Amino acid sequence: MVEKNSSESKWRTAKACAAQNCVQVAFIDGGIALRDSKNPDGGILRYSLREWRDFVAGVREGEFDDARL
């Protein structure tokens, strides 16, 4: 789901992000929200905790290592 950004959220950026070309993450209404650090006033993507946990588990297990995007 894409929606307007909420400035009330506490957004986090990875410490490894050097050039502000990163994805930022926030906990919003019991779920996870993502936004582009280059456009913090733009839209956000929202996911349930279950969707986020499944995604993180897939990353840790290498599920996306061979993905062709």
Confidence at 2, pLDDT banded by 50, 70, 90: very low
Cβ neighbours of residue 34 under 8 Å, at least 6 residues apart? 23, 24, 25, 44, 45, 46, 47
The dihedral formed by the CA atoms of 58, 22, 12 and 67, expressed in degrees to the nearest 10: 0
**pLDDT value of residue 35:** 93
**Is a pLDDT exceeding 60 seen at residue 10?**
yes
pTM as predicted: 0.70
pLDDT tens digits along 51-64: 999 999 999 999 88
CB 51 within 8 A of CB 33: no
pLDDT confidence band for 26 (50 / 70 / 90): very high
